[in-house]
Structure 1
């Protein structure tokens, strides 16, 4: 198991939770999804979300559109 603090935190969207900043990633190994430790902006909640439900937020400068879904 590896716990990695992200510096700087990454702006992400967690499906069904909203926009926030991922400040850490937990990696339990090859048989598991990465777990993104994310502070949700609107509610202040901290969620540990599995990789399939986490999306990077839009970034016009990088040419990345808003995530679908």
Structure 2
């Protein structure tokens, strides 16, 4: 199933950089969600598996900067499971 995100969600893809998630692909319970993301640098479109996707910081929502080894300091480290 493909879901278009409106509005897009600002995200960080580990190993690729920041961008806007414009859609999500759900292949079923046996697979990770796949985030269709337009990258800020260069405008490339990548399909990123869920464990590599991080939300950006958001003061209004209370998400602050939490540096980790798999993301840049500008983004929140969301736990990788599965």
TM-score range normalised by the length of the shorter chain: over 0.9
Question: Any stretches of 5+ residues in structure 2 without a counterpart?
Answer: 72-82
Using the size of structure 1 for normalisation, the TM-score is 0.92
Aligned to 2:74: none
Question: Any stretches of 5+ residues in structure 1 without a counterpart?
Answer: none
Equivalenced residue count is 68
Using the size of structure 2 for normalisation, the TM-score is 0.78
Give the aligned CA root-mean-square deviation in angstroms. Answer: 1.0
Higher strand share: 1
Deviation sequence 1:6-60 (CA, Å, 0-9, x none): 0000000000111100000000001000000000001201000000000000001
Aligned to 1:21: 20
* Higher relative contact order (Cα pairs below 8 Å, separated by 6+ residues): 1
Stretches (4+) displaced over 6 A? none
